[in-house]
Amino acid sequence: MIETINIGTESYEIWMEHGVLQKIDKWVKNFFSGEKILIITDDAVGAIYLGDVKERLKQSGYTTFSFVVQVGEQSKSLGTAEKIYQFLNDNTFDRGGLILSLGGGVVGDLSGFVASTYQRGISFAQIPTSLLAQVDASIGGKTAVNLPGIKNSVGTFYQPSGVLIDPVVLTTLKTEAISEGLAEVIKCGMIQDSSILDEMMDAASFSEIVQEIEKLIIKSIRVKKALVEEDVFDQGMRMKLNFGHTIGHGIEATLGYGNITHGEAVAIGMVKMNQFAIQKGWTPKDTQALLIKLLEKVHLPTDFPKIDLEKVFEAMRHDKKSKSHGVSVVTLDGIGQSRIRSISWEEIKKSLA
């Protein structure tokens, strides 16, 4: 499947195909005519794929370099970005080079951030290797690094020249990582495309869902494509992708990154936000039963773990999407239909308590 993200001069293609990583050299040729490529990856993904990716690119005449970061959220920092700038500079990269991210959301966000700021912008392309990155993080041009305790607080909008998705790489992921990505897939179904949820309900088990993963990835990409094309800079409709994320980010920040996955936090956030919207009379009650059933089916939590809710609330207030009077949240009008609403801090605090 080739899907184009149509956003004017910054349009790009997502090429998804079983085993397509073997054709990486052909893919790169589509959008890059330079010579030097820096591959940024983490030690876990790099151990499996870096050697092969480098070799294929080398055989096609590219000069390749690699920068391997430690796996985990702590690598998404200004400190790591600075080390990569230095590496680029030491290896005389100029704006004619390419940065290729090979990894999950952390590597993609960090690589995009470095690419958008090194010499005011160097070409960049993404090979997402986690389900979460394939259905969400690699598409739409959001790049970021974290400040201590504040996720994604420094970043840019910078579109990749291309995205290469090979579902084969998902076979090396742990179940927990698949569940994490499925939280975003369920989100896409709830906010925009109920056929995603139908497919997941029709599957008899978690492993049957995984067998259908390519279809689910394509449908989720199409949900994201539609919202990004309408609102590249996240000022309007794109915010629908944040369903469950305000509470989710509050949970992640409170527990500390690494103690809960982003998908788990978003799963709880969706349930709590939906419960709030049902209480307000904005959302039909039957949405909650379906949401919970699907999350349980893919082994995601649906209730708060042991956590200080006051701290969750404070973390939500410091989230970059928050304003002094309140926050924009996404609520469901029905299954596969959503809208953005502004709510006050008093309302959301009362509901969480």
Task: Find the shortest distance in angstroms from Cβ 228 to ligand GLY.
Answer: 7
What is the size of the binding site for ligand GLY (CB under 6 A)?
6
What residues from 141 to 160 belong to the interface with ligand GLY (CB under 6 A)? 142
What residues from 86 to 125 belong to the interface with ligand GLY (CB under 6 A)? none
Q: Candidates 136-144, 155-163, 258-266, 307-315: pick the segment binding ligand GLY (CB under 6 A).
A: 136-144
Residues 6+ apart with CB under 8 A from 99: 37, 38, 40, 111, 114, 115, 118, 122, 123, 124, 125
Give the residue with the Cβ less far from ligand GLY, 97 or 155.
155
Residues 287, 335 contacting (CB under 8 angstroms): yes
Q: How far apart are CA 28 and CA 24, in angstroms?
A: 6
Residues 331, 282 contacting (CB under 8 angstroms): yes
Give the residue with the Cβ less far from ligand GLY, 50 or 144.
144
The alpha carbon dihedral of 72, 53, 100, 92 has a sign of positive
Give the residue with the Cβ less far from ligand GLY, 226 or 309.
226
Side by side, the strands of the sheet bearing 162-165 are 2-5, 12-16, 162-165, 123-128, 98-103, 36-42, 63-69
The residue with its CB nearest to ligand GLY is 241
Residue whose C-alpha is closest to residue 202's, from 187, 212, 214, 217: 212
Give the residue with the Cβ less far from ligand GLY, 242 or 288.
242
What residues from 233 to 252 belong to the interface with ligand GLY (CB under 6 A)? 234, 238, 241
- Does 336 contact ligand GLY by CB under 6 A? no
Give the residue with the Cβ less far from ligand GLY, 151 or 238.
238
Give the binding site for ligand GLY (CB under 6 A).
Answer: 136, 140, 142, 234, 238, 241
